[in-house]
Structure 1
Amino acid sequence: MTPSSDLALRRIAGIPGPRLAEADRPDNFIDAFALQQQISQQVCQQALTEVIGWKCLLPVVDNALGDTKYVLAPIFAAETIIESKSSAAISAQCRLFPSAKNMARVEPELAFEFGTALPPQEQEYTNAQIDNAIGGVRLALELIQSRYSKPTEVSYFEALADGLVNQGLYLGPHINYPQEGGLSLVEAFELEVTQGTGTIAQSRCYSAKHPNNNPKAGLYWLVNFLSQQGIGISAGQQVITGSYAGVLDLPLDQEIHFRYGELGQFKLQFKAK
């Protein structure tokens, strides 16, 4: 079995496994990204799905790595849950593969939804062109799972090839988002997460802050990076650009209420696949 087939099958089944054989482990960005794209093709073929979006952050120079750390990975339609009704009164369901501790692992994010395609082109897209292509913004949760049994033992390049622990995306309600400027509302806010209902409800507040400050910074980079690789953005695709509160471990089968400051809110229950 090829490394791409192995990791694709683990993703589809939700069953982590050991590190790849040493000879198959990527040790640079070019090889890791190539393996990631091979896995993507395998997932799309075997799960009869397609890439519905991407996760990304701005690249940073990592002194420990001795290289630039690129953060990008595809997100698949078969792993994306779209909330059909937006309101704090509606409790939706989000099915995912739970962690070894039987918890839901998620990251609170914003998803930028493209209304217009941006095909590959020789010249770079301007920020204004990318802004104009965005058709909407949604509250979202990145669903987290590694395909490695011991993810802390794998290298960054191995994790990149595997999709950087992404197992899917939960898309909540649309929000009013400033197309240009006025980003203070979405750079930082108070994130409130409430577990349970009534007298047994427990709330926790997080000082939510975007890791790149501007939530669109990674988006602008991603569009042009993909274009250089001959990969376009399709209408309807979603892009998430970084967690506002890191990874949250939350219980299954309980009502969870997420309030993103003044941006909006939603309720759901996590269910194990």
Structure 2
Amino acid sequence: MNTPAAAPALERLPVLEDQAARLLVAARRQGSLAERLPIELRPANLDEGFAIQRKVGDQLGWQAGAWKCALPPAGKLIAAPIYDAVIHRGAQCRIRAVRGQSCVRAEPELACLLARDLPPRSAAYGEAEVLDALGNVHLALELLGSRYAHPESLTFPELLADGLFNAGLVIGPRVQLREGATPADLPGEFTVSLTRAGHDTVSFAGRHPDRSVLAPIVWLVNFLRVRGLGLHAGQAVITGSYAGVLELPTGSELQIGFGDLGTLPIHFLS
């Protein structure tokens, strides 16, 4: 008996998702912080949060040059695009200054680049097939930020709609893998260090949250696959921080060490 009433509600969902996305897009374009979405526009579950996230990309008109992902904990979904417009290469990174902040919040990660496409299809992708599609690995920093003024008070679907705190990506030097090695052979643990001229080097015991970069990428490929999405050659995938969140000062030349894998030089300019 409730079916006729449910149909109009379902028809309204795309309209509400468009409206929610417009608010988040405006915050991105203006560099402002939005208050919480109006209650009628808030995603009620993970599917709605991801749908708004996709609408944000469509409305921005930006291409996804990378994805962030992780094996999802219960009740969560760790998948979000990183747009070409906020991907930085090289030792200098110009960022938009945020009032009251003199540091950049970033996570040290490894970025796996796709050597060939992994398009949507009916059959699931296995580890060997995904591994065969991966190419070079680079040292990377995920830049963090939110379009919400008070993200700590929001539900996870609301955070998912906004891209899970992603504000950009720095792709640094290529990792020189030993002969015959693949991304599956990357170490799950190494020392992460932060060096700033005139200051002592700070070191952290780095550890990948899922112990390997491969499993999260396989999960992401299959998550996207069933939604008619895929990964494309040249895109990068990051899979989790090796040392949590680092507070990196602007205006200083920094060296981020990734154990024996190499060093990422970076200088943030406002």
TM-score (norm 1): 0.88
1:60: Cα distance to partner? 1.6
Aligned pairs (5 A) from 1:183-262: 183=186, 186-195=187-196, 197=197, 200-262=198-260
**2:84 equivalent in structure 1:** 77
AA matched with 1:38: K
Q: In the aligned structure 2, how far is the partner of 1:105 from the partner of 1:180?
A: 26
C-alpha deviation, 1:180, in angstroms: 6.4
Higher helix content, 1 or 2: 2
Aligned counterpart, 1:65: none
Give yes or no for contact 2:94–2:269 (8 Å, CA) kept in 1. yes
Are 1:25 and 2:42 counterparts?
A: yes
Listed as ranges, the matches of 1:88-103 within 5 Å are 92-99=91-98, 100-103=100-103
Alignment of 1:12-161 (within 5 A): 12-44=29-61, 49-61=62-74, 68-83=75-90, 92-99=91-98, 100-161=100-161
CA distance in 2, matches of 1:11, 1:58: 27
* 1:20-54 residue CA offsets vs partner (Å, 9 max, x unmatched): 1011111201110111100111122xxxx311111
Name the larger-Rg structure: 2
Contact preservation (8 Å) 2:114, 2:235: yes
C-alpha distance in 2, partners of 1:124/1:102? 45
Contact 2:120 2:226 in 1 (8 A): yes
Residue 201 of structure 1: how far off its partner (Å): 2.5
Q: C-alpha separation between the residues in 2 aligned to 1:121 and 1:153?
A: 38
Aligned residues: 249
Name stretches of at least 5 consecutive residues in structure 2 with no aligned partner: 1-17
Q: Report the structure, 1 or 2, having the larger strand content.
A: 1
* CA deviation vs aligned residue, 1:87-128 (integer Å, no higher than 9, x gap): xxxxx2112234542211110000010010111111011111
Segments ≥4 residues shifted beyond 3 Å? 97-100, 180-183
Q: Who is 1:2 aligned against?
A: 19
CA offset digits 1:27-85 (Å, max 9, x no partner): 201110111100111122xxxx3111110000121xxxxxx2110100000000022xx
Shift of 1:142: 0.3
Alignment partner for residue 179 of structure 1, among 182, 194, 208? 182
Identity of matched residues, %: 38
Is the contact made by 2:145 and 2:165 (CA closer than 8 Å) also made in structure 1?
Answer: yes
Tell me how far apart the structure 2 counterparts of residues 23 and 39 of structure 1 sit (CA, whole Å): 17
What value does the CA root-mean-square deviation take over the aligned residues? 1.4
- Separation (CA, whole Å) in 2 of partners of 1:95 and 1:159: 25
> For 1:180 and 1:156, how far apart are their aligned partners in 2?
30
Bigger Cα displacement from structure 2, 4-13 vs 101-110: 4-13
Secondary structure of the residue that 1:52 maps to in structure 2? strand
2:58 partner SS: helix
